[in-house]
Structure 1
Amino acid sequence: MILRVARPQSDAILGAMRAIALAHGDDGVAPIDRQTIAACAQIVLGRDPGDADTITPREPQQLADALLSHDDAQQAVRLLAVMSLVGGRIDAEKTALVQQFADALGSDEDYLRILAETAAGEVAQAAACIVRKNAESFPQLETAGIDSDAIAPFLPYRDAPDAALEARYAALGQLPPNTFGHAFHEHFVSHGFAFPGNPGGLAEGFTTPHDSSHVLSGYSTSQLGELCVSTFIGAMHPDHPMAAEVLPVLFSWHLGIHLNDIAGAATGYFEPRRFWTAWDRGAAMSTDIVAAEWDFWGATEVDLEELRAAYDLPPVAQELLA
């Protein structure tokens, strides 16, 4: 479980989530809200999912009075921010209530301003900030000029192909089938992806850690798979996890907000149990494979299952993959 807090604290967090769900006051708790709270109770807090139905709503000061540590308070506000979006749209009233909880807990992370901008109708400005934060969170990605051309940093080989780099990635297919490197190669080939260095390939500094996360976690490249793998990365990699990873995929694959020409957009792909499981698995990782010091090439010859075990990646039931 992600938050290891005592029952009074988890009661307060679940009560705050219920308050977000009831922000309008008239419609009760929608099915998706109830499912989200129940899955969060079980996966994030280690509670019986049925506890979600017995919790009373909490006010911001009541959550603050629960005396969460600074880190737990930050996590709690992130849960509330997700809760405000599961209905499939930006709700100004819910967003304002999330901010009240954040203020009470002393949380001032940048994703809160992105939510506020979106709720105020400044969607283009919020989307530009999300794309920039996402790019900046990949330390090996060159982001110069991203404010003038949000796509250019992700497509550096269009005008400067690197045949030697492409060949190095293509050679991974010669490794034994059980290795991580071979699985990475097959991931690209089976999906028809161009390797880094190819004019149609994505920047190595982005695609290598991103697609390595797909291979290690087992999440597919479907809409739900992308939502889960980015949530996994956000929990694993501490650089602006909400603004750079979780919000982008919720905006893209649940709210249908078009961020750029690389990321697609659709609605309704949030699924609570898979989402919180992806968050939990990413948080459990002992090795951050987006970090600049991660040695991709050194990992390529390692048995895939041995690598997963070495990184403390929790196994997952097939029905919770995407």
Structure 2
Amino acid sequence: MGGLIAATPDQTSAILGAMRDVATASGRFPLSAATVRSLRSAERHVLGGKGNVDPALLVPVKPETLAAALADAALAEMTLRCLSVSALVDGELSRPRIEAVLEYAERLGVRQDYVTELSKSVDGDLQWALTDMSRQNVLSLWNEPWDECLDINDIFMPYRSPHGDPSLAARYHALGESAEGTLGRAFSEIYRKNGYAYPGEERAVNVRFATPHDATHVLSGYDTSPRGEILVSTFTAGMHPVRPMEGHILPVLYSWHLNIKINDLAGAAKGQLDPEAFWEAWARGARTTVDLFAPSWDFWSVVHEPVAEIRRQYGIPAPLAAGSR
């Protein structure tokens, strides 16, 4: 099976060398165990290798050399996404690592919003970056601008008194009666096990987000732990590649790996990134043939179908990495 992006052997070596260079900030930091695992997984799942690359032997690549090796704009963009993640693998918001990413971004000609978020994060304007992540998340999910006069928590938790919707909640409660092994039953089990409020209830998350998000948990196989939330959002970034970095990957890494609280819904924790499973989750999402966040996807049309059959129909690859679920 090929990688997430197509690259020649020379380009692969250059990309991995640059990822190592960012993670170590050109030798200012040691090569960590987390970065070693990340590089091996990226080589396998993103670049189509065997996962046995020796990161200690990777040759650092200067930004101008990388730019010369990557003539294709799409390859350059995907590469910068990889470099950006490499800057965060060790669970720190590190100025030297981020500055290295920014130098590569300049040479590669990549000027996406997530690059600005990274820059602001280490340049005294972290709150701007966090606000922009919320803005970009709303744009990615619903293609709608966020009116910043509104509290983001009111957007994602709209049923607080007096705005409950008992009939909507009843419809979701009824999923607990679905047959064993179906999407509806598995979806309901997530709510029962975690004590979540169902859409329509006062503490519930907006149904427009909760339904595709929790269905993605079921179909991807990633649980609702902080580690699993990183993986399901990364899977989503591959499946729904609309503002994937700024709308999904950076927000979830900041929340659950850097312990930076973005909003009340996201929560926060430290050091929850599984670098081996992360790149596989991205590749699995990209190979999935049905986007659960597309407006055309209808949860209720498949709610009584077996999970295994839906996974087959949607082309969701089985995970390969040990402990990836």
Cα separation, 1, equivalents of 2:171 and 2:243: 31
In structure 2, which of residues 229, 233, 250 is the aligned counterpart of residue 230 of structure 1?
Answer: 233
CA-atom RMSD in angstroms: 1.8
Verify the 8 A CA contact 2:159 2:165 in the aligned structure 1. yes
Letter matched to residue 23 of structure 2 = A
Instruction: Return closer, same or farther for 1:282/1:55 CA change in 2, 3 Å cut-off.
Output: same
Distance apart, 1:175 and its partner CA: 2.4
Corresponding residue for residue 211 of structure 1: 214
**Residue 73, structure 1, aligned to residue 71, structure 2:** no
Verify the 8 A CA contact 2:139 2:146 in the aligned structure 1. no
Verify the 8 A CA contact 1:146 1:153 in the aligned structure 2. no
In structure 2, which of residues 44, 47, 54 is the aligned counterpart of residue 45 of structure 1?
Answer: 47
Fraction of identical pairs, as percent: 38
Range that drifts further, 143-152 or 158-167: 143-152
In structure 2, which of residues 12, 15, 21 is the aligned counterpart of residue 13 of structure 1?
Answer: 15
Corresponding residue for residue 90 of structure 1: 93
Deviations 1:106-138 (A, max 9, x none): 211100000000011211111111122222322
Range that drifts further, 223-232 or 25-34: 25-34
Is there any run of 5+ residues in structure 1 with no aligned partner, and where? none
Verify the 8 A CA contact 2:20 2:60 in the aligned structure 1. yes
Verify the 8 A CA contact 2:91 2:258 in the aligned structure 1. yes
Distance apart, 1:187 and its partner CA: 1.7
Instruction: Count the aligned residue pairs.
Output: 321
Range that drifts further, 105-114 or 187-196: 187-196
Corresponding residue for residue 27 of structure 2: 25
Cα separation, 2, equivalents of 1:320 and 1:232: 16
Cα separation, 2, equivalents of 1:26 and 1:79: 20
Letter matched to residue 300 of structure 1 = V
**Residue 312, structure 1, aligned to residue 276, structure 2:** no
Verify the 8 A CA contact 1:143 1:153 in the aligned structure 2. no
Verify the 8 A CA contact 2:80 2:105 in the aligned structure 1. yes
Letter matched to residue 36 of structure 2 = R
Distance apart, 1:58 and its partner CA: 0.5
Distance apart, 1:46 and its partner CA: 2.2
Letter matched to residue 23 of structure 1 = A
Letter matched to residue 63 of structure 1 = L
Cα separation, 2, equivalents of 1:287 and 1:95: 34
SS at match of 2:69: coil
Range that drifts further, 73-82 or 91-100: 91-100
Distance apart, 1:201 and its partner CA: 1.1
Verify the 8 A CA contact 2:23 2:35 in the aligned structure 1. yes
Instruction: Return closer, same or farther for 1:28/1:199 CA change in 2, 3 Å cut-off.
Output: closer
Cα separation, 2, equivalents of 1:223 and 1:52: 27
Cα separation, 1, equivalents of 2:101 and 2:220: 30
Is there any run of 5+ residues in structure 2 with no aligned partner, and where? none
Letter matched to residue 256 of structure 1 = N
TM-score (norm 1): 0.94
Cα separation, 1, equivalents of 2:57 and 2:191: 47
Cα separation, 2, equivalents of 1:191 and 1:31: 32
**Residue 160, structure 1, aligned to residue 171, structure 2:** no
